[in-house]
């Protein structure tokens, strides 16, 4: 069961261009080689909505190739605004500051200029309503190329590349698409879904789990907020549609007190939570499930 946290126990570390290197050094300090227990990362991204939407059938109800094609078209054209990362161990504990004793999560804020960068007006208005100040992103935001370089050299990146990290999202196709785009130096996403899945394997060794595709097996449905309410979970810090806050709520939903053991067993996590290691194949299966694919090799 996850440790119970109050808002006073958790600090959101807001990361901008000016403190990007410092924060990656801090992450490395929290993840030294002798502290291998922190092997899980829940992730959330905030981005400026979608500008290409097929008429009629919702994108997620289309065939896998069409669903991915729509994601690619949007991610290729748009920029990420925020990335939230919550690092935790198999008990739900987060790294703590040696100085304050408070648990730490991260919220990375990227360069975004609404005067020149394309966006969906309704989506951006919602983000601003929830407290995201896009004028700060314009002036102080992180260059995604700098983020990619520091991520790859950090303990966080090296653990992911070696398959020693497990990544968790809630309805994560866009999350992984944006992070893959960043780590691939901003290049366009692969033309087909198989090519994208190969990059997922390259950067994350397939250790990716999507809570949205798992919750039906424990009788839950809906978005992150609805699932949290069903589990009687309260948002510990921040607001919805703030990437750091949503990444933490995703982690807490994963440790929700109904059916966790069943979820772990169904998706290969029962042994994983004990071993802190995984082949990635079970994770890749759940990622395929999001796109409506049957289990099959793509690499």
The pLDDT of residue 3: 47
pLDDT for 283 equals 56
CA separation for the pair 199, 114 (Å, rounded): 29
Q: What is the DSSP string of 171-205?
A: S-HHHHHHHHHHHTTTPPPPSSHHHHHHHHHHHHT
CA distances from 68 to 97, 173, 256 (A): 40, 8, 30
Q: Bridge partners of 88?
A: 40
Domain segments of the chain as ranges = 11-270
Cα–Cα distance measured from residue 225 to residue 128, given in angstroms and rounded to the nearest whole number: 19
C-alpha 250/C-alpha 168 separation (Å) is 8
- For the CA atoms of 7, 37, 179, 271, what is the dihedral angle to 10 degrees? -110
Q: Is the dihedral of CA 196, 202, 206, 208 positive or negative?
A: negative
Indicate the CATH number for domain 11-270: 3.30.420.10
Q: What is the CA radius of gyration of the chain?
A: 18
The per-residue pLDDT for range 56-86, each reduced to its tens digit, is 777 667 788 888 899 999 999 999 999 999 9
How many CB atoms sit inside 10 A of residue 97's CB?
Answer: 14
- Residue written as token pair 């990635």: 280
Closest C-alpha among 169, 175, 244 to residue 213: 169
Per-residue pLDDT of the chain (299 residues; tens, 9 = 90+): 344 455 569 999 999 999 999 999 999 988 876 666 788 999 999 999 999 987 777 766 778 888 889 999 999 999 999 999 999 988 889 999 888 899 999 999 999 999 999 999 999 999 999 999 999 999 999 999 999 999 999 999 999 998 888 899 998 899 999 999 999 999 999 999 889 988 988 999 878 888 887 787 778 889 999 999 998 899 999 999 999 999 999 999 887 654 444 445 445 443 333 333 344 455 565 666 666 555 444 43
- In terms of DSSP H, where are the helices of 50-120? 64-77
Give the tokens for residue 97: 């500051």
110 phi, psi to nearest 5 deg: -100, 160
């Amino acid at each position: 069961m996850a440790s119970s946290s109050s808002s006073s126990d958790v600090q959101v570390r807001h990361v901008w261009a000016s403190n990007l290197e410092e924060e990656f050094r801090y992450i490395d300090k929290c993840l030294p080689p002798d502290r291998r227990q922190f092997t899980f990362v829940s992730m959330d991204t905030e981005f400026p909505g979608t500008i290409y939407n097929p008429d009629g059938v919702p994108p997620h109800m289309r065939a896998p190739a069409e669903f991915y094609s729509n994601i690619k078209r949007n991610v290729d054209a748009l920029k990420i605004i925020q990335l939230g990362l919550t690092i935790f161990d198999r008990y739900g504990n987060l790294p703590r500051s040696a100085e304050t004793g408070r648990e730490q999560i991260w919220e990375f804020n990227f360069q975004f200029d609404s005067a020149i960068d394309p966006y969906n007006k309704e989506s951006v208005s919602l983000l601003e309503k929830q407290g995201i100040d896009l004028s700060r992103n314009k002036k102080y935001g992180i260059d995604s190329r700098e983020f990619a370089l520091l991520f790859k050299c950090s303990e966080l990146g090296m653990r992911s590349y070696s398959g020693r990290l497990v990544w968790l999202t809630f309805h994560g196709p866009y999350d992984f698409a944006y992070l893959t785009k960043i780590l691939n130096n901003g290049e366009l996403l692969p033309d087909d879904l198989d090519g994208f899945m190969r990059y997922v394997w390259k950067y994350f060794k397939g250790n990716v789990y999507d809570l949205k595709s798992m919750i039906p097996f424990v009788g839950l449905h809906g978005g992150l907020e609805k699932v949290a309410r069903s589990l009687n979970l309260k948002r510990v810090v921040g607001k919805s549609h703030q990437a750091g806050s949503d990444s933490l709520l995703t982690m807490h939903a994963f440790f929700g007190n109904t059916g966790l053991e069943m979820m772990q067993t169904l998706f290969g996590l029962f042994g994983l939570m004990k071993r802190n290691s995984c082949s990635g194949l079970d994770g890749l299966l759940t990622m395929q499930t999001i796109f409506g694919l049957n289990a099959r090799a793509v690499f």
